Amino acid sequence: MSVSESVEVTGHLMDSGILSRILDDIREYDGDYAIDRFDVGHEAGDTSRATITVTAEDDEALQRLLMRLQTRGVNQVDPGEAAVREAEQDGVFPDGFYSTTNLATKIRLDGRWFDVENPEMDCGLVVEAHDDGRRVYTLPMSDVRTGMQVVCGASGIKVTVPVVDKSQESFGFMESDVSSEKPQAVLVRQVADGMREAKAAGKKVLWVGGPGVVHTGAAPALVSMVDAGFVDVLFAGNALATHDIESSLYGTSLGVDLAQGRGVEHGHEHHIRALNTIRKQGSIKAAVDSGILTGGIMHALVTHEKPFVLVGSVRDDGPLPDVYTDVIEGQRAMRAEIKDVGFCLMVATMLHSVATGNILPASIPLVCVDINPATVTKLADRGSSQARGIVTDVGLFLEQLAIELVPDYRRS
């Protein structure tokens, strides 16, 4: 015996392709639908609104389909009240827990709507007594503890998709798809604008980087942007930091090679010795303070007291003493730094880009730069629908970006 629910969605339904994705979801979950009403604006720019009856074979299937549809911004016409159940095990949500989106979310409890704090996808929602009321916040599965109150099912929940004004928004260009055949110089300027806007609004600029930043010779450009205040926080792995430090410590030879443009094969011996040197000091900061590390990206961040979060991976040598070897602790450290981020630029790393995309709310503009189209595609597939991709050369891109952002930056 099948069960149904009436849902609605509002927005630029027809020119955003969102409706086709909604209907695909319904089919994928073996559901069915009937379109009850479809109000379409007459003019270009009007928003439209659809009301759809969604049917699934039983209530569990229906609840799960409704949760899925919420990732598209689809809400129940009559959301009702949120159901809450207690977690019975550490690190395990109750059955039927509500799996979150990264959209702005509200929860109805006892007739009152509560804003969910720090929206993040693929988490649960915890309700907690708070001062004279209640608070609702996202919590990753590994952090749930016995006795916590967790929202279950799809009732009593409303999400809001950020509305994009196509005519004004600077990143409109990247909407359609991921391509290497786009006027790249313009893209550089628009990324620069995005960063300036974030800074003007008192927000932080978050960078996520891979070792390609160093290999393509872009470290000086990045250092100049750190100096100029356009890097507020950096997320990376052991590799970016180690290659950067290795390049500073063994500057004579490696520096010459970078300057001459010779491709240097991975010199493990340099690499492993740089790691040992910093481990001996106890931390990157200690190596800067003791005068051992005198240049490069990590040096610039330490000097400007900008935070960085380095999270390890299974292929790491060393690692540097600053690296979180426990990835779950690393995720927590990243979460602690995303408050007030207003713009995020991801450069030359798939692993840390996806990890950052996982924890950022959909409202933060996100640009991913990589020479490999797959990195950008993967990011969007994982749910970071706000991600805009630029397939280009990382070295030249950062060089151009520094020219845009840093008045006195020029290539020596």
What's the DSSP call for residue 407?
T
Number of residues that bind a second copy (CB under 8 A): 123
Q: In this chain, which of 91, 128, 289, 340 binds a second copy, going by CB under 8 A? A: 91
Could you tell me the smallest distance in angstroms from the CB atom of residue 99 to a second copy? Answer: 5
What's the DSSP call for residue 410?
-
Distance CA 405, CA 399 (A): 10
In angstroms, the Cα distances linking 121 to 139, 201, 251, 361 are 10, 25, 42, 8
Nearer to a second copy, 226 or 369 (CB): 369
> CB–CB of 141/91 below 8 Å?
yes
Distance CA 368, CA 378 (A): 11
Nearer to a second copy, 43 or 131 (CB): 43
Nearer to a second copy, 113 or 317 (CB): 317
Of 180-188, 222-230, 288-296, 335-343, the segment contacting a second copy by CB under 8 A is: 180-188
H/E stretch holding 236 reads strand 233-236
Strand 308-310 versus strand 75-76 pairing type: unpaired
Whether residue 162 is preceded by a cis peptide bond, meaning omega within 30 degrees of 0, is no
Nearer to a second copy, 154 or 301 (CB): 154
Q: In this chain, which of 76, 149, 358, 386 binds a second copy, going by CB under 8 A? A: 358
Interface with a second copy in residues 154-173 (CB under 8 A): 172-173
> CB–CB of 327/311 below 8 Å?
yes
Could you tell me the smallest distance in angstroms from the CB atom of residue 37 to a second copy? Answer: 9
Residue 147 binding a second copy, by CB under 8 A: no
CB-CB neighbours of 228 under 10 Å: 15
Interface with a second copy in residues 50-69 (CB under 8 A): 64, 67-68
Nearer to a second copy, 134 or 182 (CB): 182
Interface with a second copy in residues 266-325 (CB under 8 A): 266-269, 271-273, 275-276, 279-280, 311-319, 321, 325
Could you tell me the smallest distance in angstroms from the CB atom of residue 203 to a second copy? Answer: 23
Nearer to a second copy, 188 or 366 (CB): 188
Q: Which residues on adjacent β-strands are paired with residue 112?
A: 109
